Structure formats: structure tokens, C-alpha cells
Structure 1
Amino acid sequence: MGKTIRIGIIGSGGIAGAHARAYKGIEDVQIVGVADILPDKAQQFIERWDLPDATGFDDHRKLLELDLDGVSICTPNVAHYRTTVDALSAGKNVMLEKPMSVTLDEAVEMVQVSKKTGKMLNVGFQPRYDPNMAIIKNMVQNGQLGKVYYVETGGGRRRGMPGGTFIRQDIAGAGAMADIGCYSLDLALNTLGYPKPLTVSAYTSNYFGTNPKYHAEAGQFDVEDFGVAMVRFEGDLVLNFKTSWAMHMDTLGATMFLGTDAGMKVLPAGSGPWSGVWDGHVGSISLFHDIQGHHTESNIPLIKHEINVFEEKIKDFVRALREGTPAPIPGEEILRNQAIIDGIIRSAQTKKEVEIHIPDLV
């Protein structure tokens, strides 16, 4: 048997259950503490998930006094910043649920503290663990498309609005962009090697969420359910981003990469009103190119698999803890994802293009 990896979980809502299930499926991993600000909720979580070695806390700082190899942060978005900084400062490695934070300034400080303490800040974008995502990235990175100059991504649900903590700005920070839009951005940006964003011009709305006809909690709904943005990057590259929780349309279109030598179209897997966004698996990959002067479309065969991508991201985090390797999905990378979301919010509020300034974190 190897060294037992000791884990704490901060936040005991729905997503924390997925973390607990994944950790319980890994040999020599022990969940030793759970923290939640609501009295008794942590203990109820411990009992529900049968965690006999875990202690419940109503203050995450008390949990961080334990001997822990890592912590999963599963709080509402607005608490990501404080709990992450506290965990890193306490010498704990962090597995952070998406989105990284609410603002760019918060994300910058989180990365700075990670660098200062030498502790891992890993951000949870499980769609990367679909092996077909690697096909998409490899095709772009090996030059098959030539120079990529335009990317379109986003997708959208015809109906797929959550409730509760997801729809309140004071808890979630943002709506569809933070919930599903960040996945779309990661698909595009990870494929491209996370280029540096320069400017954003954006629009957001919430016509569906605030209408009792479409949402039972319309009176509490004060985040966006729809957003679009044009993002400029270094290297003369532009990204057309769009996302939606609800709309009168079947799709906002495919993810597309246009290059000087070829173009690639990618569709997500799944069907139904809650599908159509990049929080799951790849449905199809098509390459548009010329052969002997003929317009040619090649369907790229997908890798068939039964990988549980959520469990895989937890396994990868534990593997890094065990082997002392860098974060599989480092905060320094996702910082640029958060910078774009921050820019979208600022641009939509001011109704004009805004610049993105990411400080040097060396």
C-alpha cells in the first residue's frame, strides 16, 4: 500500500458529493474533514456519504488546521477566492471547482499565493479528460489547420436554467458564463495553448430567468442567462464566444476553428433541452480542407470510451499529490479564462469594448 492521501472538502453542496464519490473510489485516499458554514450540514454530508474518518466543521479555517495533503473547494463561486487563499496559505494543495473566481483581481491573488507558498492550485475542467479533446488539441497544435485566425465557441441550451445559488449575483458572481461558458472557453483556449486576451466587447441579458413564465425563481434571478462576446488575442486571433441557459433556438452553433490550411468543426455530445454545451463529451469532429483543389470534408473518428471524466480529474489531482508533480490544470492557465469572463462582465455593464490587463506573475 502507498501513502494514504488525506483530503478535506470545503462546501458540502451538490458538487461536493461528486468529489466524495470520486475520492472514495481511489485506493489509499481518506476524507478526513468536511466544512460548511451552515450548522450541522457538514455532519449530515459525512453521514450521507459514509465518511467514518471525517470530522465536520462550521469554519473552513478549523478544517485547515488538520494534517491534509489536499482540499477540494466546492463552495458557491463567491467563496472560491477566500477559501482558496486560506487553504494555500495554510500549506494545502487545492482542487478548485470552476469557475476559478468572481473577478480577475481575485484570480490573480490566488495564483500569486500559490506561487508564493509552492502549493498546487488545480482548477476542475473535467471535459478535458475526454480523450477526443486531445484529438482536437493535437490537430491544431501540430499545424494541420495552418495559422488559426478565428474561433467560434459557446453552444447553448434551449432550456437549462439552474436555480438556487446559481442565479444570485451575490453568491454566484455571474450566471451562464460562470456555469457553462467557462467550459466553452477552456475548450477553445486549451486547444490554442491559452493565448493572451487583449480586449473584449460583450452583451448579456436575462430575459428568460427573470420571467416567471420560464423560471420558478424569477424574483431571485439577477445574473445573465445569455451572453455573447468578441475577444481579441495576441497573435492576430479573434474569438466569437456565445453561451445560453435558455433561448428560442435549438443551438447556438458548433465550435469552429478557422485556419489558413483547414477548418475544424466540433459538436458536443448529448441531446435534449439541457444539452448543447461543453460540459460533457465530444459528439463529432469534422475537418474541412482542400485535396487536389477539391473541397473536402473529413469526419475524424472519435475514440469510444466509458471514461468518467469527473472522476478522472479527481484521480489526476490525487496522482499529482502522490507524485509531487505540477497541477494538471494550473491556476496560471485558467487565470486567462477568468480574465475573459471578468472582461465580459465589465463590457456588458459599460456597453463598450474593454481592455484586459493581466499582471506579470513571475
Structure 2
Amino acid sequence: MNSRRNFLQKLAASVAAFPLLSVETLASIEQTGSLVQDGPPLRVAIMGLGSYGTRVAEAMKDCKRARLTGVVSGTPAKITSWQSKYNIPAKNCYNYENFDRIKDNPDIDAVYVITPNALHREHAIRAAKAGKHVICEKPMALNAKEGQEMVDACKKANVKLLVGYRMHFEPKTLEIVRMRKEGELGKILFFQGLSGFAIGDPGQWRLTKELAGGGALMDIGIYSINGARYMVGEEPVWVTAQETKTDPQKFKPGVDETIQFQLGFPGGAVASCLSTYSMNNLDRFFLNGSKGFAELQPATGYGPIKGRTNKGELTQPHMTHQTIQMDEMAAIIMDGKQAVVPVDGEEGLRDLKIIDAIYKAVATGKKVELKLL
């Protein structure tokens, strides 16, 4: 496959240009999914054919182990368009009314839920009851209660529940995780996560509490919540938070514009994070330890991610995040492969517990204790 060959050529060029790249660094690149083992493909139906669903579909053209074989949409015109564009047979196309019939379709192994947050629980549970593995966009649900119901439903149906944490397979991110694990940064002391952008159309579902479950925290803010956990390498034990709202017309009650939150970890590290829908140029992770530091900026955009540590620039080559993600998830589902940073339902549930606690801290003005383990 051309994309695979191009990647290997880039990797070889990177090694030649940067001879100080460690074996561990190259191993972390190999763990991204671009070099997954050969095996049966994961046949995926995408549910929700909006802009991100389209991005995933385009990325899957270059996948080695994942294949787009079905669609689910409430818009007939989108189904017709996708049928033609991605060569999807009519028997693999569903709407939200007849979706449960997917249980009788052997051409589909998994359903990727890319619908508004408020619909994740229903759609994931229906897919599980139909005997299909579930991949769900983040945040996994509106709250921890819904998330637990999704985890339980998938366990009962004996199917996998994975969450679309694409950064868990990103090479520069994995290199920092490796450095932290191996003690190269020393004792971890501090993490900063800045996640935000100025949101546009005030009529979009992301600004509707009933569909989004909140505001920026239920969208872009999940990156700093999740990033704090995998960068520090521990689960937080407390959270404090403060909300700022400058435009109550655009950001109605229950839809947060900007939230600052702080997390405390059992080893003594603290995290200071910002989630906002009103400021651009905010996509930065900074991890500080007693022996060194690591920085990503941009940290979570579609790429290329850029980063540096106290040892110099991170030089791992860029690959489309969703391509890596889907190949890796195929290996997890089909081969039982373990992700370097988990992407299962339990991982998604922990983030939801933190989100619940952040909103509680905002409402009460008090420190909220966390019990994630």
C-alpha cells in the first residue's frame, strides 16, 4: 500500500537525519498502528455522517486493518452520497429506525458512533445489543452514570467498547509517555493543558445543552482532562474549578464558555488546565519533571503535532491520526492487542467522572474528591 511504503520511507529518512533517535523511540512509532500485524480486517459502520465522520472515512482509505463497510444516518441524501463515494452496498446502509437489523449483517463487525454526545449512550447500547463492537467518540457519554451503563451493556453483550482517543496512538505523544515511564523526566511535578478555540455558528448542536451536555468542557476540554492523566501517569484524587462566561447570549445556562480546572495527583503533581470556546491559539501541553520537561504545541490538533523536550525537538513522522487509530483499534478488537495508553470504556468512564466532578466544583466552589480506581 502506497501510504505504508511512504511512511516507511519517511521513517528511514528520519533515522538517517536524526541518528540520536533511540530504539525505544522507534518502538513507540511502531506501536502507533502503522506497522500492525497482518490479519483479518475490522469491518466498520460509521454512525453519524457529519464532518468528523467524513474525516474518519477518508482516513480509513489508507488503513491496513480497518475497512468502511456500512453507514447509519438519518439523512437519506448523505447515505446515497456515501454509497457512491465509498462503494457501500445498499444492504449495509441503515437509518436510526431500522438500525437494530444490523445484528443480522455479517459484513459489519463494529459500529463507530459519531453522533452528538446526548445520543452516544443509546446508540452504543443498541449496537452492543446487536452484537457489534462499539467505538464511540469522546466524551463517551453525558455523565458517568450513562458511561457506566454503556460499559455494562457491552460487557453483557460480550463486545468491546473503545473510545476515539486518537492521541493515544500519536507518535510524539507516545514518545513523551515513554520518557516519563522510563524516568527520563524524573519525578513528575506539574502539567499544564490548554484546550480551546473560538466557536462559530451559535445554532450548532455543540452549543445546545440537550445535545452536548454542556459546552467547551464536553468537547475540546476532554483533551486536557485525558491528557493530564496519561502525561502525569497517575489518576487525579481531587479537582477544583472556576467558570467564566462573557457572552450569556451565545452560551446559554448549562453551556460553559470557559472553565479553568486544577487536578491533584497522589504523587504530589498538580495540573492546571483551561477549556474554552472563546479563545483561539490554545492547544498546548506542558509536562515538567525534576529532571526535564516535555512540550507539545500543537498538542491535539489533527496535525502535524509539534513537540520538544529538554533533550531537543521531537522528530517522529506525522501520520493521519484517524488512520493510525482505526488500524490500532482493529488490532485491539481482532487480535487482543493492548494499547500503550488505554482506549477502552473504563478509560472513557474515568474522564466522565472527572467531568462530573469539575461541574460540581464549579457549582459549589469547593474542592471535590475523586475516586477513579
Task: Identify the residue that residue 66 of structure 1 maps to in structure 2.
Answer: 105
Q: Do the aligned residues in 1 keep the contact of 2:151 with 2:346 (CA within 8 Å)?
A: yes
Q: Give the Cα–Cα distance (whole angstroms) in 2 for the partners of residues 231 and 29 of structure 1.
A: 36
Percent identity reads 25
CA contact (8 A) 2:168 2:174 kept: yes
Separation (CA, whole Å) in 2 of partners of 1:20 and 1:161? 24
Question: 1:236: Cα distance to partner?
Answer: 3.1
Match of 2:353 among 327, 339, 360: 339
CA contact (8 A) 2:237 2:265 kept: yes
Superposition TM-score, scaled by structure 1 size: 0.79
| Cα deviation, residue 147, structure 1 | 1.9
- Contact 2:136/2:161 (CA < 8 Å) preserved in 1? yes
Does 2:122 match 1:82? yes
- Partner letter of residue 268 of structure 1? Q
2:56 aligned residue (10, 19, 23): 19
- Native 8 Å contact 2:238 2:369 kept in 1: yes
- In structure 1, the residue matched to 2:18 is none
SS of match in other structure, 1:341: helix
Moved more, 327-336 or 23-32: 23-32
Evaluate the alpha carbon distance shift between residue 345 and residue 286 of structure 1 in structure 2; reply closer, same or farther with a 3 A threshold: same
Partner residue of 2:321? 309
- TM-score, structure 2 length as denominator? 0.77
1:10 pairs with one of 27, 30, 47: 47
1:46 to 67, 82, 102: 82
Q: Does 1:101 align with 2:141?
A: yes
Match among 285, 289, 301 for residue 255 of structure 1? 285
Unaligned runs of 5+ in 1: 212-217, 270-275, 288-297
CA distance in 1, matches of 2:257, 2:118: 18
Q: Using the alignment, how far apart are the partners of 2:148 and 2:79 within structure 1?
A: 33
Shift of residue 122, structure 1, vs aligned partner: 1.3
- More divergent stretch after superposition (227-236 vs 46-55): 46-55
| Structure 1 segment 1-362 matched on structure 2, within 5 A | 3=40, 5-26=42-63, 31-36=68-73, 38=74, 40=76, 43-47=79-83, 49-53=85-89, 54-59=92-97, 60-67=99-106, 68-157=108-197, 159-161=198-200, 163=202, 164-193=204-233, 195-208=234-247, 210-211=248-249, 218=250, 223-247=255-279, 254-259=284-289, 261-269=290-298, 280-287=303-310, 298=311, 300-325=312-337, 329-358=343-372
Note the alpha carbon deviations across 1:130-160, whole angstroms, 9 max, x for none.
3111121112111122221332212433x34
What CA distance in whole angstroms lies between the structure 2 residues aligned with 1:280 and 1:17?
A: 17
Contact 2:262–2:273 (Cα < 8 Å) also in 1: yes
The 8 Å contact of residues 256 and 263 in structure 1, kept in 2 or not, is answered as no
Note closer, same or farther for the CA distance 1:9–1:177 as it changes in structure 2 (3 Å cut): same
Unaligned 5+ residue runs, structure 2?
1-37
- 1:202-240 CA-to-partner distances (Å, cap 9, x unmatched) read 1223324x45xxxxxx38785112111112233333221
User: Could you tell me how far 1:180 is from its partner in structure 2?
Assistant: 1.3
CA contact (8 A) 2:231 2:287 kept: no
Looking at structure 1, the residues matched to 244 and 103 of structure 2 have their Cα atoms a distance apart, in angstroms, of: 39
Change in CA separation of 1:181 and 1:137 when aligned onto 2, cut-off 3 Å: same
Whole-angstrom distance in 1 between the partners of 2:364 and 2:325: 37
- 8 Å contact kept, 2:65–2:327: no
Q: Is the contact made by 1:177 and 1:243 (CA closer than 8 Å) also made in structure 2?
A: yes
With over 3 angstroms needed to count, the CA separation of the structure-2 counterparts of 1:352 and 1:332, relative to structure 1, is same
- The letter for the 2-side match of 1:286 is T
Cα shift at 1:74: 0.8
Contact 2:135–2:161 (CA under 8 A) maintained in structure 1:
yes
Greater share of residues in helix: 2
Q: Distance in 1 between matches of 2:220 and 2:229?
A: 15
For 1:197, what is the secondary structure of its paired residue?
coil
RMSD: 2.9
Q: Does the C-alpha gap of structure 1 residues 350 and 279 become closer, same or farther in structure 2, counting only changes over 3 Å?
A: farther
User: What is the letter of the counterpart of residue 56 of structure 1?
Assistant: Y
